[in-house]
Copies of this chain bind each other. A is one copy, B any other.
Amino acid sequence: MLVVRRTEADLKLSVRPTRLYDFPFSGNGYKIRLTLAYLGLTVEYETIDLLSGEASSPEFLARNPMGQIPVLELEDGTILRESNSILFWLTEGTSLMPNDRLARARIVQWTCFEQSNIDKVLGRTRFLKRYPDFMVTTSADWDQWYATGYRALDVMEAELREHSFLIGDQFSAADICLYGYVHCAGEGGFSLERYRSVARWREQVQKQPRHLLIDEVGTTFPPNLDGGRAA
């Protein structure tokens, strides 16, 4: 039930992805990296330094006018933006994106839920704990982030108490999407201790074949093709 059943050969991608523009610390980028790794795809990896403002360079804005990573470039020059959109493009036709109408709607539901309640909340607190000078925050901001974040974790816990994964018993793109920031929520100051089903789910995701950690990047992704994982 845990194995991604199709590999690159089965993807029948008419156009191959060639290059990922990303910031290694980003959970949004990590969603794409995990998907590439699970599907056995390899791309060139280019770090866009968000801290030095590289995402606002004319060169990068030509790739994404909103100045956000990740961006995935395809061999024909097509540019894909928005992590959840890239996730859909990559997983279409694989077991990570079932054909069933309701299952697909549930995946969209979780990615929307993630965008507002996880990325902008758990992801933000983690970023600001690591880079506190990035923007001015107030204690009211933090109170609201923790309130929303714990409410979101409660919703996940309730779902995962009933099912192995977010859309039922099948590992899907929804799990990859939510894992991106939930697995490192502690770095943003969230205590995950009481979320036992979420903890069990995290372990299940980590057991996926070809799973990598968030900081395992190189000049290609996955890194160190001939020697396994990065040091």
Contacts and interface: CB of A to CB of B under 8 A. Distances in A.
Interface of A: 65-66, 78, 80-86, 88-89, 92-93, 101-102, 104-106, 108-109, 111-113, 115-117, 120, 151-152, 154-155, 158
17 contacts: A65-B154, A65-B158, A80-B109, A82-B108, A84-B108, A85-B106, A85-B108, A85-B112, A88-B104, A89-B101, A89-B102, A89-B105, A89-B108, A92-B104, A92-B105, A108-B108, A115-B115
Say whether chain A's binding surface is mostly helix, strand, loop, or mixed: helix
A105 B80 contact: yes
Given A89-B102, A105-B89, A84 B65 contact: no
Contacts of A111: 108, 112
Contact of A108 (B88, B102, B106, B116): B88
Copies of this protein chain in the complex: 2
Contact of A65 (B93, B115, B155): B155
B151 A113 contact: no
B117 A105 contact: no
B109 A112 contact: no
Nearest to A155: B65
Contacts of A105: 80, 85-86, 88-89, 92
Given A83-B112, A89-B102, 7 more contacts: A66-B117, A66-B155, A82-B108, A85-B105, A88-B108, A92-B105, A93-B101
Contacts of A84: 108, 112
A144 to B, nearest CB: 10
Contacts of A80: 105, 109
Contacts of A81: 109, 113
A116 B85 CA distance: 14
Q: Which 3 A-B pairs have the closest CB atoms?
A: A85-B109, A89-B105, A82-B112
